[in-house]
Each structure stands twice: as structure tokens, then as C-alpha cells.
Amino acid sequence: MGSSLSACCSSEKVDEERATREIGGGQASWRIFSYKELQTATNGFSDDNLLGEGGFGSVYWGKTSDGLQIAVKKLKAMNSKAEMEFAVEVEVLGRVRHKNLLGLRGYYAGADQRLIVYDYMPNLSLLSHLHGQFASEVQLDWKRRMKVAIGSAEGLLYLHHEVTPHIIHRDIKASNVLLDSDFEPLVADFGFAKLIPEGVSHMTTRVKGTLGYLAPEYAMWGKVSESCDVYSFGILLLELVTGRKPIEKLPGGVKRTITEWAEPLITKGKLKELADPKLRGNFDEAQLKQAINVAALCVKSEPEKRPKMKEVVDILKGYEAKARLTPLRMESVRYKEELLALDQASDEEGDGEADESNNGYGVFSAIEVQKMQDPYKVLGERRTAKYR
């Protein structure tokens, strides 16, 4: 952890000047807020202001005295884990600056409270448009979906390859892609981010993230690398073009991943049937094929066979039209039953549409799964059966 971070988290009185840093040649300015200021802005963290709740805290809409609309994330519990989340988030946010990444507006660090302040994104999250309160309005037409796909891929490309040290996000999912007034996507939530030291190709870590988006090698063995984000991006892309949830609970209680649903349709060449029915046939067929191709590459079970984000961006932009694109097949992934059992969100899912604040979309709040102890011995045979 950098020294600036230890300063910010250990003391309430941080010199505001130190909070304004030169990043990438531009001014990335964020400041320290007082608790009172954020309390007033959010109407006392009122339920009416609640935008939603995640695994680690609640997010409130607010307006500062100078008229700026903000989103304030109030971390749930101040234990050492929450402290670490906060520390990582502030450290990472302070480093990044990209049009497709949600930067930091400021924070408050008190004795028993941690608050993170972001710009408020008026079109909320991709989740709210695909499966939440805006889903029926279908504001996400095909063009916007492609813009969301390319923009979020560019944000990830920056994290993986342009910022130093490289950053693995580890929680790419629809609720962490926010949409500005112009439907430009901004990837949010770097609390899970992992800073990668120079020259390290992968690390082993406790598994954090959201089940439907987790790469198999990460879910099972905690093996984390940039390609875990690439996998999650593939799931996000499939979700974006199909309007399906990463894991669905079928009648009878069986849970099915989006890749299990898509694989047979792709194999039979029924690509048009993959497009979100809400689009009513209004999509560009070539782009749909391109997007499904990219998703199929991203969700390959072997991490080294997945593309880098640069290739993903190039294909989505049409720069690399023929590259690696034939024959079109998708590998489907089925998580182990123990992991699926942790997926409480889809267990609670009803038939109707859920309210964004209760997290009930059949996508998952953050989970933390203890790494399996001797994966090769215990799971080797099963892995062969399920993933190859």
C-alpha cells in the first residue's frame, strides 16, 4: 500500500492539497469531505436516497451545497476487511483516470466510518437497464449496447495494460458498469482491485467477486490474472446482447449459466435467437456475430486461450474482423454445486421484477469463498469432466 494511502486512512486531517494529484498529465482532483457535509447532502443517509446495496455497503444519492450530484458509498462495517476495501479503493481510484472508469470525487475517513464519494451517474447501472427498474423501457437499443461494450472494454484495457502497476478489477459485472447521461459506460468499484507487481503473471488469492461472472480457475483455485477479468467481460458481453442473467434459476430450482444456455444455440448457428427479444429484431447481425465471437473467446476455460483486452477492443470496433473468429463455438461452464449453493440472490428471485435495492436479479452480490485446499488432488478428475 502506498504511503499516501496510509496517510489518508490513518488520519482524518489530510492536507487537501495532497488530495489533488497530477495523473496522466491532467488534474484528477478529489477532496476530503466532512461527515456533516455528506450527511446533509444525502438527507441524513435517508432510505429515500438509497441507490442500492452491495456486498460491502450502501450507496446513497446526494447533492452537495454547490449543487454537485454525488453517490456516496457507506461501507457497512469497520472491520479490518472493510478497512482494506476502503484502502484499496482509494489507492486505486487515485491512480486511474480514463473516460470509461468512474473516478473518485472524494472520501471521508473517520474513526468508525468510511465513505467514498463518486459522481452520480444519472442512468444508474447496466443492471438496472437489463434486469431492473428501466428494463421495460428498453432505452438500451443496439447502438447503445455496442457503445457500452466497447467503452467498458476500453476501461478494462486501460486497467490491464496502461496504468502502472497493472490492475485486475476482479468484480466486472452489470451493477459495476454505470451509465452517464449519454449512456457512456463507466466501470466502477475498484474495491476488489488487485494491483499486480511488475513481471508477475498471476497470483493466488482468496476468491472474491460475483459467481456468475467468475472464471473457473479463479472460482475453484483462486488463480487470478487479467484473464479472469476477460472471462467476466465475456459474460457481461453475452448478458448485454442477450438480455439474459449470468445464472438463471429454472423452474424446479436448477441453476443454469448463461454459457450453458448459449452454447447449443451457437453450435446450431442460431445466432439471431441469442439477441435480446426486447430489441425486437433491431440489431446489426454482423455486429451481433462479432460480439458473440468475442464473448466465446473471452469465456474459454483455459485462461491462456482468452484474448487480451486490446484484441477484444479491436474486434468489437471491427478493426480485426476475421481474427480468430471461425469456427464459432462456445464452451459452457457449470460451477460446482457448493459454489452454486452460495448464490442466494437467484434463490430469492421471484417471477416479477425486483427492486434494485434488494439485489434480487439472479446476479450475485459479492461473495468470498475460501480457496479450496488441494484442488488438483480433490478436483482434478471433476475438472476434466466439466471443463474440457
Please identify the residue of the shown chain whose CB is closest to the bound Mg ion: 189
Which of 57/155 has CB closer to ligand ATP? 57
Rounded to the nearest angstrom, the gap between the alpha carbon of residue 262 and the centroid of all alpha carbons in its chain is 21
Q: Please say which residue, 178 or 266, places its beta carbon nearer to ligand ATP.
A: 178
236's grid cell: 457481461
CA–CA separation, 66 and 140 (whole Å): 32
Q: Burial, 22: exposed, middle or buried (Cβ in 10 Å; 0-12, 13-18, 19+)?
A: exposed
Distance in angstroms (rounded) separating the CA atoms of residues 196 and 205: 12
93 vs 271, which CB is nearer to ligand ATP? Answer: 93
Check the annotation: does 74 bind a ligand: yes
All 3 cell numbers of residue 356? Answer: 434494485
| Contact call for residue 176 and Mg ion (CB under 5 A) | yes
Dihedral pair phi/psi, residue 137, rounded to 5°: -75, -20
**Residues at the contact surface with ligand ATP, assessed by CB under 6 A:** 51-57, 59, 71, 73, 118, 120-121, 124-125, 127, 171, 175-176, 178, 188-189, 210, 356, 365-366
CB of 282 to ligand ATP, least distance (A): 26
Question: Counting contacts by CB under 5 A, is residue 154 touching Mg ion?
Answer: no
Say if CB 85 and CB 191 are below 8 A apart.
Answer: yes
* Closest approach of ligand ATP to the CB of residue 271, in Å: 30
Nearest to 262 by CA among 278, 245, 286, 279: 245
For residue 359, state whether it binds Mg ion (rule: CB under 5 A).
no
- Our CB check for ligand ATP shows the closer of 120 and 218 to be 120
Partner whose footprint covers residue 124, from Mg ion, ligand ATP, none (CB < 5 to 8 Å by kind): ligand ATP
Please confirm, yes or no, whether 171 is among the known catalytic residues: yes
From the list ligand ATP, Mg ion, none, pick the one residue 212 interacts with, judged by a Cβ distance below 5 to 8 Å according to partner type. Answer: none
Which one of Mg ion, ligand ATP, none is in contact with 71 (Cβ closer than 5 to 8 A by kind)? Answer: ligand ATP
In this structure, what DSSP letter does residue 22 have? E
**Residue 383 identity (one-letter amino acid):** R
Q: Rounded distance, CA 94 to CA 101, Å?
A: 12
Q: Which of 302, 324, 306 is nearest to 315 (CA)?
A: 324
Residue type (1 letter), 312: V
Among candidate residues 15, 119, 171, 276, the one labeled active-site is: 171
Site for Mg ion in 182-241 (CB under 5 A): 189
Query: Rule CB under 5 A: which of 43-102 touch Mg ion?
Result: 54
Residue 99 to residues 61, 150, 173, 209, 257: CA-CA distances in angstroms? 21, 12, 18, 24, 31
Q: Among Mg ion, ligand ATP, none, what binds residue 108 when CB lies within 5 to 8 Å by partner kind?
A: none
What's the min distance (Å) between Cβ of 188 and ligand ATP? Answer: 6
Residue least distant from ligand ATP (Cβ): 54
Q: Give the residues lining the site for Mg ion (CB under 5 A).
A: 54, 176, 189
Binding-site residue set for ATP: 74
Q: Catalytic residue positions?
A: 171
